[in-house]
Chain A
Amino acid sequence: KNQVEQSPQSLIILEGKNCTLQCNYTVSPFSNLRWYKQDTGRGPVSLTIMTFSENTKSNGRYTATLDADTKQSSLHITASQLSDSASYICVVSAILHDMRFGAGTRLTVKP
């Protein structure tokens, strides 16, 4: 069983709507959690990084939250745009180089 579980596996929303993606992890000890966006045919691009002491971080229309007690994170996308269509990957780090990747959520934004 993967130590980083993401849900939903895929999601379709209409342009302009908000959505929330979930990431649950069992990685321990916890170091940091990142959200990446991966467009089709491209490599992942970092959106946010949060350490143990941070519980929210924003990057434009993207807001990530972290609850280190329940080992849950979410990525909220506000006022979605067609360009938000991509895979969103949650990555949890324990120690150096021990990075655990989620399988990603495939988001499709339709006009």
Chain B
Amino acid sequence: ETGVTQTPRHLVMGMTNKKSLKCEQHLGHNAMYWYKQSAKKPLELMFVYSLEERVENNSVPSRFSPECPNSSHLFLHLHTLQPEDSALYLCASSQGQGITDTQYFGPGTRLTVL
């Protein structure tokens, strides 16, 4: 295992539901990330947190709301999602934000929006 856990592993929700994805890293890293992986498409970086401060937001719709209460935990709050938001959501962490810092990924949450 990579030291990054994600829950739940699978989630099915309706467009009017509100749910949250959770990520926890046990590596003592300072940076955490949310990615979206759609079928046959490249990974898309959604959010970056460094030392609990958001440092990057790649024009993600407001129906996705991240939260980083401490350096070990990262949440992605979901509300009023669309069917095209169905994808694998991956969390990652790295020691720092240096160009050679390796990101360690969690197993992902498979999200289906009905």
Contacts and interface: CB of A to CB of B under 8 A. Distances in A.
Interface of A: 2, 4, 31-32, 34, 41-46, 49, 51, 89, 93, 95-97, 99-104
Interface of B: 2, 4, 40-45, 48, 55-56, 90-92, 97, 99-100, 102-108
A43 B43 CA distance: 11
B99 A31 contact: yes
Contact of B97 (A2, A46, A97, A102): A97
Given A96-B97, A99-B45, A46 B108 contact: no
A21 B107 CA distance: 24
Contacts of A44: 43, 90, 105
Given A96-B99, A103-B40, A43 B108 contact: yes
B99 to A, nearest CB: 5
Given A43-B4, A43-B92, A97-B45, A49 B100 contact: yes
B102 A46 contact: yes
A111 B107 CA distance: 27
Contacts of B100: 32, 49, 51
B106 A43 contact: yes
Contacts of B108: 41-43
Nearest to A97: B56
Contacts of A45: 2, 105
B16 to A, nearest CB: 28
Q: Report which residue of A2, A34, A93, A103 has the largest number of chain B beta carbons within 10 angstroms of its beta carbon.
A: A103
A93 B103 contact: no
Contacts of B45: 97, 99
B107 A43 contact: yes
Nearest to A34: B102
Given A97-B48, A103-B42, A49 B102 contact: yes
Nearest to B110: A41
Contacts of A31: 99
